[in-house]
Structure 1
């Protein structure tokens, strides 16, 4: 029998998020017969949730800066992100019929903002390529070398020449990322870093004084925790502090560094001292700060919550405004985090993202032990690692 007449090699992808669907696309393009399995009733649930506030697919910025966002995982991920960079992500989305725009901070979105049109077009393209999608198929491990699933029809094995695991991290379990895959992988001898919250809100034990400010935004602030810094905004909620500026520095809190806020990052401490030297007269402290510094009500409330009674000395008060220590109760629980730190350690994989402990099994997306801030980096890296794992999985399956 000639190679042209041989049956197609079979590839199984477990997990139907961005990484898994991208792996399936690469494997099908290489000629494999591909089946995607997901334990939820529908696919791409976390992608659709991300699109509710605008699907930020990547970040248009200088590539070296883009790579630096991946911190300690930058070096092992660099060839993968080089092969499918921010420009390539945009071209891929355009190929699915999406028109894009770039915001003032470099974040790239579909013009329609939602994820559903992109996902529909992507699934149609995968169907045209022969990719089969099984939903409500929950992976439980291996039996006789084949992945095994708990399905509506009972336990089923799905023999495959190659498998890609792309089941997400351990946050937002209701959308499918439960982290339950860690147990069968540990049993298979795979080294896994403990899960932890990444891009998470900060828990606060507010006094009753703050209730009137729930939902208010702290705009244009600076945040710092350890080596992590951001400029942006935070939202005061009943549970704590949320928002992009907070998520960027959440890793510093996880590493047990203090959180400091600069409430007026565009003004120097010296300029604030000069303004605060003006007599207060009979004005309350809140009115004095509002009129003298144009400080809004939410920032004044937070300042008083963290540092009441405020110092009368202009120099000490300016120092507080530029570096306000935030007393907090740690990060919000793992299941509420946008993404997950921890997962399959990168040194448990070869350069193609194949497990040393399970030849023929590749890993992609948030299952891997890397993290990055929000702003397009997360989806970009999921797509890039899925593409890389899918290409190498196809090559491995067809190595004969």
Structure 2
């Protein structure tokens, strides 16, 4: 073994494959009993691999990190991800929204094929090996057989962010890297739900989706859907705006985005006087869940054109984001200026980092997974080019 990869998620698996293809003898370690646990969780409702759109539009979803990630995603972007899946025997299809999925939908067939390919390349895997920091120049692990210290030639860290700790990414590594001189931006939840203080009347709508609406925050407007839960709201439409909402932008809903305010006012004017509020909202085209939101946040309900304006911009008061560990992903992590262009830690020559450990964020919809794969590939290739003597790794 002269190359070590810590973390068995998509970024780590990609780094291990690139190292092995370059002729390195690779050891891949993960603290959990099996690899790819967060990937498998993401695929339970359909594994969204990437988004089929031009690179310029794709990159717009990475905010200020776009120029940093562009070289990596230009080499391994949406088209390359689709080709990669096909090469693993998993053909893909593109949905009406442009999102790309394996035809099998689940992550497990893809992961099995990938692990088989890594095995054929000679990658050795150790599970239940938890990295616990440094011991001098060595990396220290807790394993089922007792403590182990390793001093590989090169190391790629792919330990994830700080959410879903039960699946393996708890952010504990941040303290150890900071102690060795790496810059670490504080972790913040990303792609998360938001808390709402519901009245008891909303209980019967918990679990109900609100579809076909537009969500607005700041200067962003996103068509999508979300789910009313016992603690608030969550789902793709909310996640797309989660950064703006986290930073304090108010959320408003256009519950009938295919109608103009005037067309909606005309429809409202045709309703019979004296009808119940529930019937009036149903007849203008709202689902029971959407109508419940209107009655929750707009009492007393206005009439005529004022009602039309309300339905086109319903304010939803939020009580803050869901906790960090419940977020799909996290912002924060190793800062850009702590890394070389090869994703090598400036303070720790021979140690590279990739995936959600890096300080970038992106919405769900294929953007997260594509960037994890691309940064893992980039770090693995760079580590494979690094000097091969054991002294090159784990310094600090």
- Fold-level match, TM-score > 0.5? yes
Shift of 1:63: 1.3
CA contact (8 A) 1:229 1:248 kept: no
Q: Distance in 2 between matches of 1:295 and 1:253?
A: 25
Task: Please list the CA deviations of residues 129-160 of structure 1 after superposition, one character each: whole Å capped at 9, or x if unmatched.
Answer: 11111111111122232211111122111120
Most deviating of 34-43 and 277-286? 277-286
Corresponding residue to 1:58 among 29, 34, 50:
50
Q: In structure 2, how many angstroms separate the alpha carbons of the residues matched to 1:279 and 1:388?
A: 61
Task: Determine the C-alpha separation between the residues in 1 that align with 2:15 and 2:255.
Answer: 44
Whether the aligned pair in 2 keeps the contact of 1:227 and 1:252 (CA below 8 Å) is: no
Deviation at 1:285, TM superposition (A): 1.7
Query: CA 1:49–1:279 in structure 2 vs 1: closer, same or farther (change >3 Å)?
Result: closer
Query: In the alignment, which of 346, 349, 358 is matched to residue 336 of structure 2?
Result: 346
CA distance in 1, matches of 2:332, 2:370: 18
Equivalent position to 1:357, from 330, 347, 350 = 347
Q: Deviations over 1:241-263 (max 9, x none)?
A: 11110110111111111111111
Distance in 1 (alpha carbons) for counterparts of 2:360 and 2:70: 12
* Maintained 8 Å contact 2:194/2:234: yes
For 2:387 and 2:301, locate their aligned partners in 1 and report how far apart those are by CA, in whole Å: 67
TM-score by length of 2: 0.96
Tell me what 2:59 maps to: 67
How well do the aligned residues superpose, as a CA RMSD in angstroms?
1.3
- What's 2:285 paired with? 294
2:300 to 283, 297, 309: 309
Q: 1:250 aligns with which of 242, 251, 270?
A: 242
Secondary structure in 2 aligned to 1:223? Answer: strand
Range 76-85 or range 282-291, more displaced: 282-291
What is the DSSP-based 3-state SS (H/G/I as helix, E as strand, rest coil) of the residue aligned with 1:362? strand
Please tell me whether the aligned partners of residues 201 and 243 of structure 1 are also in contact (alpha carbons under 8 angstroms). yes
Q: Residue by residue, what CA displacement relative to the aligned partner does 1:2-28 show, whole Å, maximum 9, x if unpaired?
A: xxxxxxx71100100000010000001
How many Å separate the matches in 1 of 2:10 and 2:262? 49
Q: Which residue of 2 aligns with 1:190?
A: 182
**Counterpart residue number, 2:32:** 40
Q: Contact 1:228–1:248 (CA<8 Å) still a contact in 2? A: no
The CA deviation at 1:207 is 0.7
Is 1:80 matched with 2:105?
no
Gaps of 5+ in 1: 1-8
Residues matched between the structures, number: 390
Aligned to 2:215: 223
Match in the other structure for 1:97: 89
The residue matched to 2:139 in structure 1 has which SS? strand
- Give the distance between the partners of 1:129 and 1:397, measured in 2 at CA: 21
1:215 Cα deviation after fit: 1.6
Aligned 1:134-145 pairs, distance under 5 A: 134-145=126-137
Note the C-alpha offset of 1:398.
4.3
Distance in 2 between the 1:229 and 1:168 partners?
29
Is the Cα contact below 8 Å between 1:222 and 1:229 reproduced in 2?
yes
- How far the C-alpha of 1:45 sits from its partner, in A, is 0.2
After TM superposition, the structure 1 = structure 2 runs for residues 132-211 of structure 1, keeping only pairs within 5 Å, are 132-211=124-203
Does the residue aligned with 1:253 lie in a helix, a strand or coil? helix
Taking the aligned partners of 1:124 and 1:341, their CA distance within structure 2 comes to 32
Given that residues 290 and 297 in structure 1 are in contact (C-alpha distance below 8 angstroms), is that contact kept between their aligned partners in structure 2? yes
Q: Is it true that 1:278 corresponds to 2:274 in the alignment?
A: no
Are 1:337 and 2:327 counterparts? yes
TM-score by length of 1: 0.95
